[in-house]
Chain A
Amino acid sequence: MADPVARLRATYGAGPRHVLVLLLCFVVTGWVVLRLAGEATAWRMLLWFLGAVIFHDLVLFPVYAAVDRALRGVTRTARRPAASGGDGSERVRLAVLNHVRAPALAAGLLFLVFLPGLLGWGAETYRAATAQERMPYLLRWLAVSGVLFLVSAVALVIRWLRWRTSERG
């Protein structure tokens, strides 16, 4: 075959740019791996690197997807819409679902991001760095989450009242 690019596509599965770009990526990674191979804690780093992917893809995602599925079940929004294309009660059930989803996602996000502080990890490092005692912020997180759920509930009630008024009018 005369055209080397076409030949590359047929055998390798992509064009020369693909080869070049990935080569660059793996050269940098390979260099970092060589540089870190001498570190006593290199295995731990690798474990955390791969562990982060496994945690996200095989723990965090399935958990939040399952919670969402359960929520859709509870609010009876999991099935296909009625043939009429969704009546008023369908709209309300979806609104309930989303007004639970939003604060739940926010609370979950805050929990993940501020986890060390919420659970009071690293108390000794904290004391050395701040000259203060570490006080777990779990209650603060509960308070913030509670406020978010409350605000969402109030917004839902306002929406519902407006729908009712518009339906009557």
Chain B
Amino acid sequence: MPASDPAPPAEDRAGAADGYGTPRRLWQGLDRHRPPGADAVTRGWRSPLRGPWLTSVFGAVLLATLPLVIITGLLDYAAYAPRFGQAFPTDVSWLRLPYFDWPTRPSWLFRLTQGLHVGLGIVIVPVVLAKLWSVIPKLFDWPPARSVAQVLERLSLLLLVGGILFQIATGLLNIQYAYVFGFDFYTAHYFGAWVFTAALVAHVALKLPRMVTALRPRPGRDALRTPRAATRPEPPDPDGLVPVRPGPPTVSRRGAVALVGGGSLLLAVLTVGQSLDGPLRRTAWLLPRGQDPGAGPNGFQINRSAAAAGIQAADTGPGWRLTLHGAGRTVTLDRAALLAMAQHTARLPIACVEGWSTVQTWTGVRLRDLAALAGTPDPASAHVRSMERSGLFRQATLQANQVLDPDSLLALRVNGADLSPDHGFPARIIVPALPGVHCTKWVADIDFRTDG
């Protein structure tokens, strides 16, 4: 406050000094009326490791990783081409990235973004739990607040903690096919992410200076070099993270950090396999996508079985026809006619929103050849429909770049063999960097459009 200002009333001056806001009586009274047991709880926190340094280490790790999880999550929404109304939830108003054409190159783009989103999301679980452990005494602080500012900040922390736990829980349940929550996963996870992100931005804006100060190197206090026996509590901090009556250390700070890092490493080892091919895939031992999908050219993961999609053998037999709609023209082809066209082979990943992916060798007709055949060599988009009778993903709209990429195929064969029924026989779409569910299986017709 500038020196020229008139002296503030005594009440205000005291308010600034002892941290009580207005109405002071309320906050002071709250402070005085300690519920039974509050002191015992305060004295009960014993770990000498708790303090600004440890909290800041976990905070720094999360500050470096969470933005990646958030951005890859938003990119994955964009990969579904929301402008065609086919990203879920469909109605998100301004809470999304600006529309842009999801690229087809590099072909492993979606594999990378979604693999990172799910993989990193799993790997940081121990860090999140450790961070919460380090600050949990704050939850039982008395008084819970000394001003309106603190009430609001605590409310934002509820959004922060609820947000991260909600996102972790729904995400983990989704990739393991346990829809026990009884609401739409896409809606909940997407909007949950925004609530969490907003609370995270607020938390970082308010706490970043604290973190920087706590992590500033200090001579003689290098926590990562201090063994257990020399581990001491930090000096009392303004946030009250350091316990009033610390017990003896049972582990050093570096030991605690190593323990949390080890947990992350263990999860990484048990997760990365779902994005690898070959024998290493089985290392995802506790995840659905680390399981043996069977042998042979069609022995790789699917995301929907022919039985679940209601595809009958009669639908895919000799009577099957592919219908192409173009500029004023309709072309009908059977599988023999498609096989008689120029065939192209491409090695492309199929990557799922659940984070798993696999690279296979696909053979079929280029989508751009089919577009030309339908009289629309330069389409603005292509609408692909499956023979599936139900399901959110029985149709998909492809952008122009996705139709025209030389590796974008209506695949008829994979790894030198006909597609199996579960992989979309008689024909399926495969497009570089396109989310797996938009690589429509059991294709019935394709509508090449010129009007976007």
Is A127 on the interface with B (CB-CB < 8 A)? yes
Is A157 on the interface with B (CB-CB < 8 A)? no
Residue among B12, B181, B306, B308 making CB contact with A7, cutoff 8 Å: B12
A131 to B288, CA, bound (A): 11
A130 to B229, CA, bound (A): 52
Q: Within residues 1 to 42 of chain A, which ones have a CB less than 8 A from any CB in chain B?
A: 1-3, 6-7, 9-14, 17-19, 21-22, 24-29, 31-32, 35-36, 39, 41
- Against B, the Cβ 8 Å flags (1 = close, 0 = not) of A79-101 are 01100011000000010011001
Please report the total number of A residues contacting B with Cβ < 8 Å.
Answer: 77
A117 to B286, CA, bound (A): 7
Is B450 on the interface with A (CB-CB < 8 A)? no
- Residue of B152, B229, B267 with most partner-chain A CB within 10 A: B152
Is A168 on the interface with B (CB-CB < 8 A)? no
Contact across chains for B139 and A85 when beta carbons are under 8 A apart: no
What residues of chain A lie closer than 8 Å to B95, measured between beta carbons? 28, 31-32
A42 to B66, CA, bound (A): 26
Contact across chains for B178 and A77 when beta carbons are under 8 A apart: no
What residues of chain B lie closer than 8 Å to A49, measured between beta carbons? 162-163, 166, 192
What residues of chain B lie closer than 8 Å to A81, measured between beta carbons? 248
How far does the Cβ of A16 sit from chain B's closest Cβ, in whole Å? 11
- Residue of B270, B285, B307 with most partner-chain A CB within 10 A: B285
Given contacts A2-B6, A28-B195, A61-B132, 18 further A-B contacts (CB under 8 A): A1-B6, A6-B1, A10-B22, A11-B12, A13-B146, A14-B150, A21-B202, A29-B199, A35-B93, A48-B183, A49-B166, A57-B136, A80-B247, A86-B229, A102-B262, A110-B266, A126-B177, A131-B305
- 19 chain-A/chain-B pairs, Cβ below 8 angstroms: A1-B6, A2-B5, A10-B16, A11-B148, A12-B147, A14-B149, A19-B149, A21-B205, A25-B159, A52-B165, A53-B162, A78-B247, A80-B247, A81-B248, A101-B251, A112-B125, A129-B288, A131-B302, A131-B422
